């Protein structure tokens, strides 16, 4: 299995793959090519040109099912998988990642509970990286492959011994923004730095932009909107903000179920809205 993981690794500065993995302090695990650059910009920026912190990205699926249009309309599944893998590796170069892992699974495999291939790969990934901070999809994402990846990451971390687990696990925004969460339930990342790098990491996905999905404008716009709409009473504290759901309680307490955790988030939102309404209605 280690051999399979090594075959799936691209190391932008060509050092030994195991050495590159072992330097990792920040790890992001996303379903598709481009998810990392959309959701884990906090980790990319924290490690960019930083001698002490190193970012590793893991993309779980192979990009075969990508919708296509324009110049990419007649591209086969196999060609599309190669195009997307190359785009992802280019992003890893631009962002100066320590390593880019592409596991190449198909979406239906990822969504299948107890699929051993992914579990084994994630076990290997975590044992060779030992990150402090991990970014993945949030549990309210509307793309089922994204939620599946988040669940598999939680399961993999729970298989680690408690003293080797990451300190933090964040569920980040892709196919659902997290601005609606109550403020005390949100993690805000100030991602104002390196605006040109942020755009370069998203415009590298030509196959997506040509296919009618301008993620560069949408993602940068979301970050700017998050910054402005955080506090109605204060001037903006940052020019760009990325929001996450703190999933760390799920990797500290193995008895906390995912449905129980998500219900508590809904309950906090419901309580906040109900209290505001009750106060204004004099009830
Ligand atoms: Zn995705």
Residue 141 alpha carbon to ligand 1 centre in Å: 10
Strand partners, 57: 28, 100
| pLDDT of 63 | 79
Q: Are the CB atoms for 227 and 177 separated by under 8 Å?
A: no
pLDDT band, very low/low/confident/very high, at 1 (cuts 50, 70, 90): low
Going by their DSSP bridges, the two strands 133-137 and 26-30 should be labelled as parallel
pLDDT higher than threshold 80 for residue 29: yes
The residue ranges of DSSP E strands in 161-251, in sequence order, are 168-172, 186-190, 241-246
Relative orientation angle of helices 144-158 and 116-129, to the nearest 10 degrees: 60
| pLDDT of 68 | 72
Q: Are the CB atoms for 118 and 103 separated by under 8 Å?
A: yes
Domains and their CATH numbers in the chain: 2-252 (3.40.50.10320)
Reading the block at residue 170, the tokens are 């964040």
Residue 149 alpha carbon to ligand 1 centre in Å: 10
| pLDDT of 256 | 98
Which residue has 């044992």 as its token pair? Answer: 127
Residue 32 alpha carbon to ligand 1 centre in Å: 4
Residue 104 alpha carbon to ligand 1 centre in Å: 14
Residue 186 alpha carbon to ligand 1 centre in Å: 21
pLDDT higher than threshold 70 for residue 47: yes
Which residue has 């893991």 as its token pair? Answer: 58
Which of 218-227, 233-242, 251-260, 273-282 comes out lowest in average pLDDT?
233-242
Residue 211 alpha carbon to ligand 1 centre in Å: 15
- What's the pLDDT tens digit per position in 57-95? 999 999 787 777 777 788 888 888 899 999 999 999 999
Residue 35 alpha carbon to ligand 1 centre in Å: 5
Sheet of 241-246, strands arranged across: 9-10, 99-105, 55-61, 26-30, 133-137, 168-172, 241-246, 186-190
Which residue has 């990419």 as its token pair? Answer: 72
Which residue has 């415009």 as its token pair? Answer: 203
The mean pLDDT of 166-184, rounded to a whole number, is: 96
Of 242, 24, 220, 196, residue with least CA distance to 94: 196
- What's the pLDDT tens digit per position in 124-140? 999 999 999 999 999 99
Averaged confidence pLDDT in the chain = 94
The rounded percent of the chain whose pLDDT value lies above 70 is 99
Residue 107 alpha carbon to ligand 1 centre in Å: 10
- What's the pLDDT tens digit per position in 197-236? 999 999 999 888 877 888 999 999 999 999 999 888 888 8
């Amino acid at each position: 299995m280690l051999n399979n993981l090594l075959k799936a690794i691209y190391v932008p500065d060509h050092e030994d793959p195991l050495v590159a993995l072992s330097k990792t302090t920040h790890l992001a695990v996303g379903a598709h090519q481009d998810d990392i650059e959309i959701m884990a910009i906090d980790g990319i920026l924290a490690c960019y040109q930083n001698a002490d912190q190193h970012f590793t990205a893991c993309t779980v699926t192979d990009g075969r099912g990508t919708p296509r249009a324009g110049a990419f309309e007649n591209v086969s599944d196999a060609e599309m998988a190669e195009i997307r893998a190359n785009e992802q590796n280019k992003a890893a170069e631009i962002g100066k990642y320590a390593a880019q892992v592409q596991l190449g699974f198909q979406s239906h495999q990822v969504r299948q509970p107890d699929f051993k291939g992914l579990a084994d790969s994630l076990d290997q990934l975590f044992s060779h990286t030992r990150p402090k901070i991990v970014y993945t999809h949030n549990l309210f994402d509307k793309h089922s492959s994204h939620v599946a990846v988040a669940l598999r990451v939680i399961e993999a971390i729970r298989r680690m011994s408690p003293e080797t687990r990451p300190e933090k696990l964040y569920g980040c925004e892709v196919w659902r923004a997290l601005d609606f969460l109550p403020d005390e339930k949100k993690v805000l990342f100030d991602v104002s730095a390196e605006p040109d790098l942020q755009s370069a990491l998203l415009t590298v996905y030509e196959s997506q932009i040509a296919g009618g999905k301008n993620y560069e404008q949408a993602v940068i716009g979301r970050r700017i909107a998050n910054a402005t709409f955080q506090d109605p009473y204060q001037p903006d504290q940052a020019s760009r903000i990325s929001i996450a759901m703190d999933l760390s309680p799920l990797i500290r307490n193995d008895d906390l179920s995912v449905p129980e955790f998500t219900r508590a988030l809904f309950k906090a939102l419901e309580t906040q809205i109900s209290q505001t309404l009750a106060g204004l209605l004099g009830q």
